[in-house]
Structure 1
Amino acid sequence: MNTAESVPVELENTPSTLEQPELRSGAALIASAPRAVQDAFLDGLSEQEMSALPFLFDFWAHPHQLPPQVDWRSWVIMGGRGAGKTRAGAEWVRMMVEGNMPGDAGRARRVALVGETFDQVRDVMIFGDSGILACSPPDRRPEWQATRRRLVWPNGAVAEAHSASSPEHMRGPQFDAAWVDEIGCAAINKAPNEPNKFLDPKSSESAIPHFSSGKRDDYVQMQYLRAYYGFFGESENNPESSLYDGPMVDMSRAFVWAWDARPWPNFPSDLSIWSDGQNHVTGHWLTGRTSVMPLAHVVGEICESVSFIDYDATNLHGIVRGFSVADFDTPRAALQPLMIALGFDAIERGGKIVFQTRKDASEHGVSDAELVVNSGDATLEKVRAPMAEVVGEVRLGYVEAEGEFVARIADARFPHDGTSDVTQNELPLALTEAEATTIAERWLSEARVSRDAVSFSLPPSRSDLRAGDLAELTDARGDTTLYRVDRIEDRGARRIEAVRVERHIYTPSEAVETVGEVRPFAVPVPVVAQFMDLPLLKGDEVAHAPYVAAFARPWPGGVAVYGSSEDSGYDLNSVIEQPSRIGVLETPLLAAKAGIWQRGEPLRVKISGAPLSSVTREAVLNGTNVAAIGDGSSDNWEIIQFAQANLVGTDMFDLSDLLRGQAGSDGLIPELWPAGSRIVMLDGGPAQITAQLSNRGLARHYRIGPSLRPYDDPSYRYYVEAFQGIGLRPYAPTRLKAHNTGSDLALSWIRRTRIDGDSWASVEVPLGEEVERYLVRISQGGSVKREIETATPSWIYSSAAQAADGLTGPYDIEVAQVSLRFGPGLFSRIEING
């Protein structure tokens, strides 16, 4: 890490402070000399010289720690932590103020010690491990006068501590020299409170600034530097010197701590080489951050690109790491992705468009007493969108801002709430993973909260309430609710339409910031992919969305799934981050009853990836070792589990203690799964892709391949698939029975549920569907004789109906539960022997 510390500044042109050039870095010379030379050197020192030797910095210093041997006015040391910048500055101050004897005068009588804050000057430059007090010999050690914030040496020299935040305090003393600490602060929340603080788990000095949350904040680092350069860029704050041709502070020679010479983005991403890479997230480094633009500047540039100048973006705060803008007709068309992603609105104010972040919107109280009736409208009308329209999951596509700059997907969902609708959007933005997750979570929360809308009328006197403001409505019970005003119509009274908001939605999420990942180069090989339309496995999945299991050797780091309604114009659907364990059956698997431990011949499988392992039966019952067996189509999969997995060859395992027909797939158990059938471990590798509920049953086109390659790369494979949404399919009823009641046949069964049916505490399993409905089918010889629907788990097949159907000999009765969204589920069947 290269950092810059602007150290000693001499106010007069003086020769080098070094009195004995032959001592410069003498310790390094002696250390490299033969042992005889070292002994001769030490034997030649008197006792007094031996006592003084530890304090002769010229002798011990590295070359970069010693002042230049020419006339100089300012001297800058470039170096990382541990390079000795603080020690060099402290020793230079000693050289300036100390004479030959403790009471003799030195070259400087008054020295300014200047840092970001007074605490930094005191804790680092004066009392630090390499500060002035630690470097001074006992007979020349200065006295710290805390009340006057200064050091006083035995010879009367004085060094005053000053903060850069109070530059006026440095007027008057007529300093002979100054030691000025660096500028710069970490990219962490409230960093300017203590600019010298940094997070490093390996350092004893690791700490966060006062009142900081510890979250990454690139924007505050940028604002800090803009404030510094802006202040000294004004002539009234930085006047021209009467002694030399230049300003008081030459900002063209101002160095910011810290720039790093290591190549971006390998640093900080390659943690196998640089163990301090993770510190970059909230560190002082400018590396990788210099291209970041303030949000207000980006908005202004877009507006002015079409000669639109009546705007105000001064209240926009935040950064844009990267933004792709295609051709656009209006500024709003270009700004819409930014507004959605970063949570701000464009509002008309007095003929000017004002950009305002939603978290900073003004609040205005509105009581019931102020509401008026206008043109027959209700005083206060509340509307709540139906639950079916509420989004349960948000997926955002974005470009990784650090690391490999590849397409990524951020996902946010409300688990276990029964809402399965998914919305996916592509943002033309470069974001970190934490930023993308924060946007997705805020978007999802906004969608959930804004299902509540209100409209009401206020008298014309309430002109203070404007579009974009928050109306705080107080009801008769004293409860208050915030609504964002989206529309105002002045027609005598002011008719206002607003949606509910909550302030905490705009609080940054707890997503953890990490450095972008740079993976080793991998040859782009085709990816083995398997589409699977599966039942609900845990209950929190998107019921109608299919899975994709992918495998490649070597694994490309990520597999992209692109989708389209035709074989062109593909959009990124999902990115699969983990390889799946995919294999084939080496021996056939015969039919068996569901829910019973199968103890017969083991099933031999050949499967790639991490080895399979044996677990206890209790672990199996708790959801371990789940796999799907199918014929390679997307919808014909039986879910099994196994307790024992024994390695019998390379990638070859014998599976025993099987449980068949899990997750309601018992209705799909065939007479035989032949050798060569596919097996896929359902261990988190297969990932659900995005699928619109309206696209169920419609064929769509997919291209799947390495995420670092475009979808037209030869490594991509092409698929056409249609999915029924098996997660919506009802389970087959159980305990189907028939008995005669006179000449009629009485049927009964017990329904099952695909949702939340595992609790032993329930009196009865939840219905799991919108209504209770069953389809009863009578067939003979493959020909359907009768189909009826019933709302109860029973039905009477009357003798008259039997006669009308003309049944002679054995016939079949099948029963399936019906879903309003899926239709009939799997059937249970019994045979009636005439």
Structure 2
Amino acid sequence: MNPVPFTELGCPAIDRGTNQPNVFFDPKSSESFTPHFSRGWRDDAIQRAYLEATYLWWGEAANNPLSSVYGGRMVHVPECAAWTWDARPYPFFPALTDVWTDGANWRLGHWLTGRLGAVSLAALVRHLCLLAGLPEDRIDVTGLWGAVEGYAIGALESPRASITTLSRHFGFDAVETEGVIRFVMRGRAAVASVSLDDLVAAREGDVLELTRGQETELPQALKWQIARADEDYDAALVEARRITVDTTRIASESFPMAVPPEEAERRCRRALMEAWVGRETAAFRLPPSRLALDPADAIRLQHDGRLVDLRLVSIADADARGIETVRQDRATYDLPPGDPRAASLTRAVVFGAPDALLMDLPQLSEDQPAHRPFVAAHAVPWPGEMAVFQSPSTDGFELLTTFGSRARIGVLVSGFYAGPTSRFDLGNVLVVDLLTGTLESVTDLTLFGGANAIAIESATGVWEIVQAGAAELIAPGQYGLTRLLRGQRGTEGAMGNPAPAGARVVVLDESLAPLPIAEADLGIPWNWRIGPASRPVSDETYVAQAFTPECIGLRPFSVAHVEQPWRKPRSLGDLTIRWTRRSRALAADSWGGLEVPLAEELEAYEVEILHGAAVKRVLSTATTSAVYTAAHQIADRGALLGPGDTLDIRIFQLSALVGRGAPKLVTLTF
């Protein structure tokens, strides 16, 4: 013979779940049922009572006898599993229904997760009585019902004060009878009926005294503050209110206990209705033959041809028993719970390393120094604030700056070829795929004001600035940009031919953060770490980069309008090379001035005379022209430049801070 294996038991947390503990409520299933006679309400207490009753029953030797054959109990209980404990973390399951679609079934289901930590009301009251020094055999809590998810005693108070708080919340009374402190729930059935003939007349006054309290002394609304275990014990407010009453009083109470809001709302409505029903009181005397009645018992009084339910509040024994009662309505203690409230949880945010770019760009606005490079970053989720650390070595990083805006970063979908400058490029289509954000078409006037500027990394660390007048959404996050202005802010030399597909692009707006470095730091190879400001610089969420700021913002623009010799008649001999100066100053875009600002300490230029890739001669000048003398021509070429000849030259404007500016490579034709 072998023991009977008891492998599994469980009960749904639903009203009267023990009537049919094997059924499961799931509106999406064809096998969804509620237990026999269940009203479909959530009831955590019935689930706990079922588990306690089952395990305690089989734990008794009289119910589970010892076998004389194999020396074990008839029913093998130690390996009996309670259905069901879920490995998914509470309260994120069941609250995150967008992650777990069966989360809605938890409320009425068999899950122990989030419920097994509760304690029965009876066990809690017994524990408080033991703390008060009462012997266990003088405590009777069999009349209590309910479950407590959490109860905090936040101050020095007696166990009686703690029990009083529980009594107010759950609606029970304590009475001393037969040498035992007995705790019973209110709303019980009447144990006796009393008529006027059963009452004992007093020497003075009426045999029955009925009192009805004024409405103005009662609350119109009752508000309770409780804690929610599924919201990290944050406070929650429930309210019960009467509509057609002649009072405007509002009463508020706070309970240091964790309660599901729907259950707290039910108990709050019970307390409000209890106050209104209990405004009717009765006082009378009963003969000593009614000695069996105790305080907290319910009776029915026959009066004016009707039966009135009363709950005994106090009894004074003398020659007759002086009884004080309040009216009760049993329906008050069997109300449906309130509507379920979804939990608002703070999700744990896991940050990854951002996509960060350090960009050496021309000056973009007057409020930023021209020498400062920029940082752009994108991350999902965005940590709120990014920090930038720098160090000349691989340790000893120091915080340089923080910024809080996520940049619109993306990539080229296809190759982007070179195009014309100083006029619209109507032949190329710039197709970009953005990680976040949008683009929109703008008018020409807005475009000339600097809108829709995009930096394209045509080579590592080399950025061309392009503006787009027309933007068309061609796929989610993907835009086709046309009506382009190329090589803006002196970046025509950065055009790729083509810039390859996959090259990074950044929308130039206020989300870019300037790096507050000093001019003395220019040209130094720094090590950088960029990541969430809430994490230490050593955290794995930081991305490491090596970047040397070259101060593109201080570099003079290339010159323009180099004069071609063939356009004017000339004789053999000295060659005067002429051009027009450009300025990197933002004010140079004004059409009102006679001359663009110099933006440099001194005006100076260098002209390289090229022969293939070799530099044959360098001419220096302080004006927008340089003379290539006949003697230099003969020395460099062996002959004077004449019709049919060509000459390659490269012109630089000079800066006292960064030296040569952007080059202008031109082939002169004679």
TM-score of the aligned structures, taking structure 1 as reference length: 0.40
Bigger radius of gyration? 2
